[in-house]
């Protein structure tokens, strides 16, 4: 059936842009400014700017008390005041007009389970004089996904929410297989023992200390390791680390690297054996940029620094012995998200031209709506991811989030450089990464996707001696040699342990 206009679903709302974002978060497609199609595509909901705020009321049906506990925990982590009574829970967001009610309605013997209407009567959702770092729209949406709740469109005025098995008969809150060597290596890693459920913005300094791998300026056999500057950025001189083989003074291909750390941790000057291995074995230069960290410097500060650093690298290419025609961008985790954003910016801002992009489990989607985003995983679980996005987006969370902040939100992925993307099957980012690769391919971008069985997030640095890590790093080295025009022979990586 085609889309039909339903006149009585016209709604006048205050905070027009915010409410539009609310509908997008709940899975409705905006087919024209202020006009949304339901998930089924059979009806339209039309929003218009107005002066009559309405209350958003969400009624959720839970399968069991355990499901209800999950919803309650998710709402509590978002800072909502909850009222728990037996098989029901209610919550409200102070200073807004969101009400949430959840209750156990039945056990669902079949798949899909029956749905419970989620009434959405729209709202003036945000007190713009006092915007909270955790904006309520995205927060409430995420809390329900924490409990394994699925969202479905039912009609233009209501959506439907169901708790219970996913469409393929399995719970979304699954625990994926971890490679045995990696699992053993993680037992002694500090990152494995952070209590992310209790972590908040005020704990970030101590988490940074736990995540730090230590600065490394030691000499590397056959390599020059130099601390350089990339010129002046938005907040002063942009520092970077340059790594290049000593064997030649000729201009080299270059990987412009952006470190990871959830947008709130890490440094270009920390030890990262991947970079020295790639520089040596792929015969390339690597420039790793230092950028400001959230939450002290939320978006767009980290992106602006990385963008300015790329411009500085091109400007100083001759000084660094770099071939301007063979510069690519890369990064891991949050650094991968920033690398993807920088690549998008070169497209929309008319250059500079990149030779490739290397995305290692990039952190690219703030919405947390995929099945893998609800998996129980080590190192970087959902609570850690929520903390990272809250730190990075700050008060912009859910208010028109830019594709330069969360690249998965980009509508057009054409015109990007040849891309290598790798992610593990036990990584929270698995589905958003695979979808990003699929969309790039559909839009005409050359993509090589490596899906690593049993690999969790950050396994390169947390389990460097595992067979899977060595194979993965060797394959990335092969890609770098290929895009750099080198012999594509594989190197066997025996990287020292990174603590």
CA–centroid distance for 288 within its chain: 20
Q: Which residues have a Cβ under 8 Å from the Cβ of 291 and sit 6 or more positions away?
A: 258, 268, 301, 302, 305, 306, 309, 338
Render pLDDT for 376-386 as a digit per residue (tens, 0 to 9).
Answer: 999 999 999 99
**Predicted pLDDT at 23:** 56
**Predicted pLDDT at 192:** 75
**Predicted pLDDT at 162:** 30
Cα separation, 165 vs 63, in Å, equals 10
pLDDT above 90 as % of the chain: 53
Residue 467 pLDDT more than 80? yes
CATH code linked to domain 203-483? 3.40.50.1820
In 3D, which of 120, 156, 128 has the Cα closest to residue 45? 156
Q: Do domains 9-163 and 203-483 have the same CATH topology?
A: no
Other Cβ atoms less than 10 A from the Cβ of 496: the count is 11
Cα separation, 411 vs 357, in Å, equals 18
Residue 497 DSSP one-character state: P
Cα separation, 80 vs 137, in Å, equals 12
Tell me the three state secondary structure of residue 483: helix
| C-alpha R_g of the chain | 24
pTM of the predicted structure, to 2 decimals: 0.67
Q: Which two tokens stand for residue 440?
A: 């790039």
Question: Which of 80-94, 208-222, 284-298 bottoms out in mean pLDDT, i.e. has the lowest?
Answer: 80-94
Rounded to whole angstroms, what are the CA distances from 196 to 95, 138, 221, 345, 350?
27, 19, 39, 32, 40
Pick the CATH number of 9-163 from 3.40.50, 3.10.180, 3.30.1490, 3.30.70: 3.10.180
**Average pLDDT in the 298-305 region?**
96
Q: Which sequence spans correspond to the domains of the chain?
A: 9-163, 203-483
**Predicted pLDDT at 82:** 73
Render pLDDT for 309-349 as a digit per residue (tens, 0 to 9).
Answer: 999 999 999 999 999 999 999 999 999 999 999 999 999 99
Render pLDDT for 142-190 as a digit per residue (tens, 0 to 9).
Answer: 333 333 333 332 222 223 333 333 334 333 347 899 999 999 999 888 7
**Helix and strand totals (H; E) in the chain:** 13, 19
């Amino acid at each position: 059936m085609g889309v039909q206009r339903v006149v009585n679903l016209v709604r006048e709302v205050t905070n027009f842009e915010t409410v539009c974002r609310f509908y997008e978060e709940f899975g409705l497609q905006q087919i024209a400014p202020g006009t949304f199609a339901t998930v089924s595509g059979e009806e339209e909901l039309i929003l218009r700017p107005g002066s009559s705020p309405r209350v958003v009321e969400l009624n959720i049906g839970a399968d069991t008390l355990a499901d209800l506990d999950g919803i309650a925990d998710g709402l509590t982590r978002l800072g909502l005041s909850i009222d728990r009574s037996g098989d029901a829970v209610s919550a409200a967001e102070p200073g807004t007009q969101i009400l949430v009610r959840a209750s156990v309605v039945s056990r669902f013997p079949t798949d899909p389970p029956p749905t419970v209407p989620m009434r959405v009567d729209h709202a003036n959702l945000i007190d713009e004089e006092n915007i909270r770092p955790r904006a309520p729209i995205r927060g409430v949406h995420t809390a329900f996904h924490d409990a394994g709740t699925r969202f479905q469109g039912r009609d233009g005025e209501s959506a439907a929410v169901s708790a219970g098995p996913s469409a393929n008969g399995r719970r979304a809150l699954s625990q994926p297989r971890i490679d045995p060597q990696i699992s053993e290596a993680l037992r002694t890693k500090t990152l494995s023992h952070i209590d992310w459920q209790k972590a908040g913005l005020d704990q970030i300094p101590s988490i940074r200390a736990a995540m730090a791998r230590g600065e490394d300026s030691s000499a590397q056999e056959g390599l020059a390791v130099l601390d350089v500057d990339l010129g002046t950025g938005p907040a002063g001189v942009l520092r970077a680390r340059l790594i290049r083989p000593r064997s030649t003074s000729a201009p080299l291909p270059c990987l412009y690297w952006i470190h990871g750390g959830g947008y709130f941790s890490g440094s270009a000057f920390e030890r990262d054996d991947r970079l020295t291995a790639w520089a040596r074995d792929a015969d390339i230069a690597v420039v790793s940029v230092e950028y400001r960290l959230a939450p002290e410097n939320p978006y767009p500060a980290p992106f602006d620094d990385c963008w300015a650093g790329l411009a500085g690298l091109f400007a100083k290419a001759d000084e660094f012995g770099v071939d301007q025609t063979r510069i690519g961008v890369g990064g891991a985790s949050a650094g991968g998200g920033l690398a993807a954003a920088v690549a998008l910016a070169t497209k929309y801002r008319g250059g500079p031209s990149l030779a490739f992009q290397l995305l290692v489990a990039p952190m690219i989607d703030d919405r947390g709506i995929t099945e893998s985003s609800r998996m129980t995983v080590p190192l970087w679980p959902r609570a850690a991811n929520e903390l990272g996005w809250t730190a990075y987006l700050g008060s912009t969370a859910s208010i028109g989030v830019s594709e330069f902040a969360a690249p998965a939100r980009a509508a057009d992925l054409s015109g990007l450089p040849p891309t290598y993307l790798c992610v593990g099957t036990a990584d929270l980012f698995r589905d958003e990464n695979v979808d990003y690769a699929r969309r790039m391919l559909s839009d005409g971008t050359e993509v090589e996707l490596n899906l690593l069985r049993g690999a969790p997030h950050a396994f390169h640095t947390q389990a460097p001696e595992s067979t899977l890590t060595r194979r993965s790093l060797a394959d990335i080295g092969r890609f770098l040699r290929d895009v750099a025009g080198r012999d594509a022979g594989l190197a066997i990586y025996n990287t020292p342990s990174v603590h």
